[in-house]
Amino acid sequence: MRKTIWITLLTLATVTGWFAPAPEAQAIDPVTIAILAPAAMRMAETAQPYVIQGIAGGAQGLAQMGMAAFKILYIPWGVVQCTLGLPLGGLSSGVANICEGGAAPFELLFHTIMFPVRCFGVGV
CA distance 20 to 87: 68
User: pTM of the full predicted structure?
Assistant: 0.63
CA distance 2 to 120: 40
Q: In the predicted model, is pLDDT for residue 47 greater than 60?
A: yes
Q: In the predicted model, is pLDDT for residue 41 greater than 70?
A: yes
- pLDDT computed for residue 67 by the predictor: 95
CA distance 117 to 54: 9
